Amino acid sequence: MGETAGDAMETEMSNGSGTGTGNGTTGKCLSSFVDKGTIDSHRYYLSRKTLLEMLRDRGYDISNSDIDLTLTQFRDLHGQDIDVDRLRISASHLTNFENKILAVFCGTGVVKVNSIRWIATQIMNKETLNRLIIVVQGHITSQAMKAVDLFPFKVEIFQITDLLVNITKHVLKPKHRVLTDVEKEKLLNKFNVDEKQLPRMSQKDAIAQYYGLEKGQVIEVTYNGEITGLHVTYRCIWFIVHATRWYTSTRGGKIGVHMGRVGSVWLLVMLMIFGVCRDPFYEAEGLTRVVKDDGDIGARLSERVRTLKKLYRDA
């Protein structure tokens, strides 16, 4: 039972307005606190609220009154059977009015190519739109994904289940802040490193998707726990590959599958032993590049470890 429900029951009991008989007083029945609305309306309310918070954190002009809308007010406005076309959100960026974004919801079931075409016909300002967010509730067919690629702007796709909770508000999640281009340049100059030498974050990471980060952007991560204390590090958004790079070759008419040599495991072990990287697999792409491009693996690996240790020590 939540705090609000508990406080309400305590108030009822203290005011003597219980429903019991005799001299004693009893609080409200627990059934009075059960949500009697539809599950779909609740899901749409939570996902739309998270979506509004996400757009606000990205710097778009979002009214606090829309975010602070209660579930009861949402149902009074949209009803129990939600019309997804009324849930769309259109906003402009606070620092660049020409940077516009549109967020739309799809209905239940499989998202087919006709659904994407319907969304395309509803967008009137394709020339001025910079980004589109599509919230889906089921599988997207391959033909629908091909239709998405035909849009002339950036398209992001979120499952509605990923928006039921704002992950940035979780107590175990460290604080993230996106660096500007100027702050990124100062950071690289301070440590005398290239962006490829920074610890990496996958572009498919939940935080990277929340902020809509692109390759090359840098995010500041602040850890503040009882065990670790205050710790600041940085991540560069990257396309992350597996630690072992597989590739095919045609030699003598035969197709062979090769591994990136045992050096792949070597560097990952070194990173974990030295404790220079909280997520060693983020260094996987740099590792495979070292193994592939240079036969003198030892010298290159040692140099990379020294650079990472200096970065974390001075952070």
Structure token pair of residue 289: 């590049």
Is the domain of 136 the same as that of 245?
Answer: no
Residue 26, in any domain of the structure: no
Q: What is the pLDDT of residue 242?
A: 40
Where is the domain boundary, 112, 131, 165?
165
Mean pLDDT of 258-286: 47
pLDDT of residue 228: 72
Tell the residue number behind the tokens 């197709």, with chain if given.
255
* pLDDT tens digits along 182-198: 999 999 999 999 988 99
Sheet holding 175-178, edge to edge: 175-178, 218-225, 229-238, 200-202
Indicate whether 111 and 216 sit together in one domain. Answer: no
The SS3 assignment for 259 reads coil
Answer whether residue 13 shows pLDDT above 70.
no
The structural domain count of the chain equals: 2
Per residue in 122-158, pLDDT (tens digit) is 887 788 899 999 999 989 999 999 999 889 899 999 9
**Residues 268-296: what's their mean pLDDT?**
48
Domain of residue 67, CATH code: 3.40.1340.10
DSSP letters of 87-148?
A: G-EEEEBSS-TT-EEEEEE--SS-B-HHHHHHHHHH-S-TTTEEEEEEEESS-B-HHHHHHH
Q: Which of these three, 165, 189, 220, is where a domain ends? A: 165
Q: Are residues 127 and 182 in the same domain?
A: no
Q: Are both 100 and 237 inside the same structural domain?
A: no
Side by side, the strands of the sheet bearing 100-105 are 89-92, 100-105, 129-136, 154-159
Domain containing 92: what range?
39-165
